[in-house]
Amino acid sequence: MRAIGIDDFGQELRVLDVPEPHAGPGEVRVRVHAVAVNPTDTGVVSGRYRERHAEHGPYIPGADAAGVIDEVGDGSTRWHVGDRVALVVVPYREAGGTYADHVVVPETSVLRLPDDIDFAHGTAFLMNALTARLLLDELGLSAGQTLAVTGAAGAFGQYAVQMAGADGLRVIADAAEKDEELVRSFGPDEVVRRGDNVAQRIREVASDGVDGLIDGSVQGEQTIAAVKDGGVIGSVRGWSGELERGITAKAVLVYQHVDRDDLIRGLERQLADGVYALRVAEVLPAALAVDAHLRLAAGGVRGRLVLDFS
């Protein structure tokens, strides 16, 4: 079976021939058509997670994928051969990630794609949306409270903004001048200019400070001043800075929750209801995975780069 990966960390991605997997009890196998390129993927290749990998390669990146179920393991009653789905996996598991023609996953890690969403857009959704859902739940805000989101133009930031709005929160999003129209299209209540003084600009539209802040752009301590006394900050990479004024920090690791059937079913319903606008920057042949990683590392990509495995 074709996969895109490396034999050892630090090598350049290449086409590999690996054994074809099969679905066991409670699992499904998906014929992959599209794979989103995420920052974690470049970390897998560089060896950032080497202590979590098997001792020997090959190492296959990829956390998201979309395609068609072509094999259903014993005991599954929800899924059938031919179902169009998106899925999320732990890319440093023993079986590897999603840069492959076939991927086997627990049936609880799969989301049904609406008929009007193609595979390229479908693969750009689940991991980032699940991360946003986990972090919002961890913050524990209630409808009517105010949330600020930095990095709102990014894939994760977009879903955080749209999800928080659906939860009934007042949402303040940041945006560079070139991204302001894009970010406004996600439906926040206020948009402020991003940058080193973003906390001050958030305070200009929320004078008492925000109840919570999701730091999607990983600005760390520069964001604290935007949060009211006793408020909460959510981070996708943990928090190592100082805290003050009774502010707490929360973090989540999405790979500990890829089989959260309850959350994935909720995202599935919202996706079918049109809550989220899905964005793809460009679709590239799977053989150009190296180019996709270089573009992602260079920054400035809006929406997800997607690898075509059709």
Please tell me the predicted confidence (pLDDT) of residue 305.
96
Q: Residues 2-125+278-308: name the CATH superfamily.
A: Medium-chain alcohol dehydrogenases, catalytic domain (3.90.180.10)
* pLDDT tens string 232-269: 999 887 787 789 999 999 999 999 999 999 999 999 99
Share of the chain above pLDDT 90, in %: 81
pTM of the model: 0.94
Half-sphere exposure of 271 (CA within 13 A, CB side): 26
Residues 92-147 pLDDT 10s: 888 899 999 999 999 999 999 999 999 999 999 999 999 999 999 999 999 999 99
Angstrom distances, CA of residue 224 to CA of 26, 70, 159, 219? 44, 48, 22, 9
| Nearest partner of 20 among 32, 7, 10, 11, judged by Cα | 32
Closest CA to 109 of 118, 121, 97, 94: 97
Tokens representing 3 are 């996969």
Name the phi and psi angles at 52, rounded to 5.
Answer: -100, -10
Instruction: With a cut of 80, say whether residue 53 has pLDDT above it.
Output: no
Residue 164 in contact with residue 142, Cβ under 8 Å? no
Q: By 3-state DSSP, what share of the chain in percent is helix, strand and coil, each rounded to 5? A: 30, 30, 40
Q: Is the pLDDT of residue 220 over 90?
A: no
Decide: residue 232, CB within 10 A, 0-12 exposed, 13-18 middle, 19+ buried.
Answer: buried
pLDDT at 301: 84
Bridge-partner residues for 88, per DSSP? 64
Please report the pLDDT score of residue 242 as a whole number: 83
Tens-digit pLDDT profile for residues 139-190: 999 999 999 999 999 989 999 999 999 999 999 999 999 999 999 999 999 9
* Spatial separation of the C-alpha atoms in residues 262 and 62, rounded to whole Å: 23
Predicted pLDDT of residue 300? 80
CA-CA distance, 53 to 301, in Å (whole number)?
Answer: 28
What pLDDT sits at residue 302?
A: 84
Range from 53-57, 239-243, 269-273 carrying the lowest mean pLDDT: 53-57
The one-letter code for the residue type at 1 is: M
In the prediction, which pLDDT does 30 show?
98
Percent of the chain's residues with pLDDT above 70: 100
CATH 3.40.50.720 fits 129-253, yes or no: yes
- C-alpha triplet 38, 236, 54: angle, nearest 5°: 60
In the chain, what are the domain boundaries? 2-125+278-308, 129-253
Strand spans (E) along the chain: 2-5, 14-17, 27-36, 64-72, 84-88, 102-106, 110-112, 146-150, 170-175, 190-193, 210-215, 227-235, 248-251, 280-285, 304-308
- pLDDT-derived band at 48 (thresholds 50, 70, 90) equals confident
pLDDT at 56 over 80: no
Q: Is residue 54's pLDDT more than 80? A: no
